[in-house]
Amino acid sequence: MTRTLVMGILNVTPDSFSDGGRWAAPAAALDHARAMLDDGADLIDIGGESTRPGSTRPEVAEELRRVIPVVEAVAALGVTVSVDTMRAEVARAAVEAGAGIVNDVSGGLADPQMLATVAALQHTHPGVDYVAMHWRAHGSVMNDEAHYDDVVADVTRELLARRDAAVAAGIDPARIVLDPGYGFSKNSDQNWTLLAANASFLTHGHRVLVGVSRKRFLGELLATDAGPRPPDQRDAATAALTALCAAQGVWAVRTHEVRAQRDAVEVAARLAAGGVTGVR
């Protein structure tokens, strides 16, 4: 693609921080996927486990129950589906149901079978991508792990270590996508420091996925005396970051709200193209 892709978030969970419970029913999830496609989504990322701070994990059977019917239904629409999971069993079932991307926020740390499973899936389902995100701990304790000597250097080192582990396990390097993990085991200042260096993640030979949609550090930035701005009122700030990341050339942005993010991507792509066309 000549522009950054827009990955629409489809949470089939009861407890996600922004839209928990809204799309838990398969029919509602499919309707929302269609709406995001109408708004310009290029990819749909389906997740059955909330990773918000303080969240608890569902049993694997419950995650499979939530995710697999929706993956199958959305993939049937002809769009590339990403499965947001830290479990190898869910990744395998989702790819077999039609998913083309495994989006593992743990970078293989949460499930020791994940990397080998993805490597095997790439042999049986050529073209499957693997997103490795920077991660230190599950949602229930992630905020306790926000300690860095140098957040940019430490995140880069730890993320590239997960890349190396993925390659060693047999995952095709060309199919690896890196995600700096904004909001995961990082406080507000650390997120902003990392965002200021976001372009550096493009220098390691891999596509980069950025997920900042509606995250807490945006709510804290826009806080009033009443407290942080609510998640569903953070889309304009998200679009500002989307435009900046798209101008840098990231592969995709992951978002709850598609239309404004697609508009921001189109503006960045047009500016990058330069020249004057269509003048009347």
Q: Looking at the chain, list the stretches that DSSP marks H as alpha helix, in order from N- to C-terminal side.
A: 26-38, 60-75, 88-96, 114-124, 151-168, 188-196, 216-221, 235-248, 259-273
For residue 216, give Cα distances in angstroms to 54, 221, 223: 13, 9, 10
Which candidate in 87, 163, 229, 254 is catalytic?
Answer: 254
Report the C-alpha gap between 108 and 124 in whole angstroms: 20
Report the C-alpha gap between 45 and 146 in whole angstroms: 26
Q: Which of 114, 53, 110 is nearest to 89 (CA)?
A: 114
Q: Looking at 6-49, list the stretches that DSSP marks H as alpha helix, in order from N- to C-terminal side.
A: 26-38
Which candidate in 87, 92, 163, 215 is catalytic?
Answer: 215
Our answer to whether residue 254 is catalytic in this structure is yes
- Phi and psi (nearest 5°) for 19? -140, 30
Taking the CB of residue 16, how many other CB atoms lie within 10 A of it?
Answer: 23
Q: Which of 20, 8, 24, 125 is nearest to 70 (CA)?
A: 24
Our answer to whether residue 259 is catalytic in this structure is no
Report the C-alpha gap between 145 and 131 in whole angstroms: 21
Cβ neighbours of residue 208 closer than 8 Å, sequence gap 6 or more: 177, 178, 179, 180, 198, 201, 202, 250, 251
Report the C-alpha gap between 18 and 30 in whole angstroms: 18
The residues annotated with a catalytic role in the active site are 215, 254
